[in-house]
Structure 1
Amino acid sequence: MWMNYIDLSEYRNAWVFRHQDMPVSAEDLAQIKPLSESSAYQLWRQRISKEADLPTEWESGDWAANENAWQHKEIWQKAWDSSSPDLPELITEHIDWADNVTVFFCYESSKIIETSWAVFKRNWKNFLFFDDGPILIARKKKQAVQFFQNGAFAVGEMP
């Protein structure tokens, strides 16, 4: 699938990566690539949902709405609030991707950010300023993580 991007400076929510309390390095900023709306929509339709545009709208036919897709749930909020930059342990145990694996942080059908697993791990707290159900997936991988506003997350696998 061919991806088109918008410049991070044009991305409406880019402020999350320039937050004064959680600055992202210039090197990492260069690797945070918001997909154009059409590319985001195409990826969402292929990998997330054919019908719903938001995580709150998933229907029974969507893999992410299937409780069996999610093996474990835990809280991410405590790790986010801590001074440690580390992802919650359950996520790093579930995900065994190499640092250079391309990942997609999917907020909704028109808002998806592409980066590498290494960049996401270093800056995951910035990505979670918006936490209303986004899903983390990777190119050619089945593992997935979904984050919820109540501070919880679920790890699982796509079909």
Structure 2
Amino acid sequence: MAHTYIPLEQYKRKWIFNHKDLPVTDEDKACIKPLDQKSSMTVWNQWVSNKSSRSEQFAKGDWAAKGDAWQETDHWQSAWDSDSPALPELFQNHFDWQDETQVYFCYDKYQIIETRWDVFVRNWKCFLFFDDGPLLIAPKKKQAAFFHQSGQYQLGKRG
């Protein structure tokens, strides 16, 4: 199904990709595609939940609410605060995705950004300026990540 995108310049959270301390290249910006509300809802309903609109509302039946969905927990905040652009090591090791793998960074049912894995890896700190429970998923892959405001993240597999 074809998605409809919001031009990055018109995206209400565009500042996260224009932050002077975390510059994003023009090439990467071209690959950061916020979905419009309807396309976001379609992705969320298909890959995340057809019951809940935000991660804190996950309920019985949602794959992300299952106890065995998440195998490992670690901290992202210290890596985010560091000068290194690298993702936390445990996080990197969980994902064996090719650079061009299509990924969705899902803030909630109405705000999702589509990008490529390599673009996310280079710019992950920008995505996490909003850390109220976003999920990282890829439609063709089972691995997933769930970020928490506590500075922790969980790694697991979609059911």
TM > 0.5: yes
1:139 is displaced (CA, Å) by 2.5
* Residue aligned with 1:113, SS: strand
Q: CA RMSD, aligned part only?
A: 0.7
Partners of 2:47 and 2:139 within 8 A in 1: no
* Mapped pair 1:90 → 2:90: yes
The C-alpha deviation readout for 1:27-49, integer Å capped at 9, x for no partner, is: 11111000111010001001101
Over the matched positions of the two proteins, sequence identity in percent amounts to: 51
Q: Would you identify which runs of 4 or more consecutive aligned residues in structure 1 move more than 4 Å?
A: none
Q: Distance in 1 between matches of 2:10 and 2:38?
A: 15
Structure 2 unmatched runs, 5+: none
Aligned length: 159
* 8 A Cα contact 1:143 1:155, kept in partner: yes
Alignment of 1:10-25 (within 5 A): 10-25=10-25
How far 1:23 moved relative to its partner? 1.1
In structure 2, how many angstroms separate the alpha carbons of the residues matched to 1:19 and 1:134?
20
- CA displacement at 1:2 relative to structure 2: 1.7
Tell me which residue corresponds to 1:99.
99
Q: 2-side partners of 1:92 and 1:34: how far apart?
A: 24
Contact 1:103–1:116 under 8 Å retained in 2 = yes
How far apart, CA to CA, are the structure 2 residues paired with 1:86 and 1:19? 18
Q: Aligned partner of 1:133: which letter?
A: G
Contact 1:101 1:139 in 2 (8 A): no
Unaligned runs of 5+ in 1: none
**Residues 131, 148 of structure 2: 8 Å contact kept:** yes
What is the rounded CA distance, in whole Å, between the counterparts of 1:107 and 1:127 in structure 2?
9
Aligned residue number for residue 66 of structure 1? 66
TM-score (norm 2): 0.98
Aligned counterpart, 1:77:
77
> In 2, distance between residues paired with 1:95 and 1:107?
20
Deviates more, 1:57-66 or 1:119-128: 57-66
Amino acid at match of 2:81: D
For 1:4 and 1:85, locate their aligned partners in 2 and report how far apart those are by CA, in whole Å: 30
| Aligned equivalent of 1:109 | 109
1:27 aligns with 2:22: no
SS in 2 for 1:120: helix
SS at match of 2:4: coil
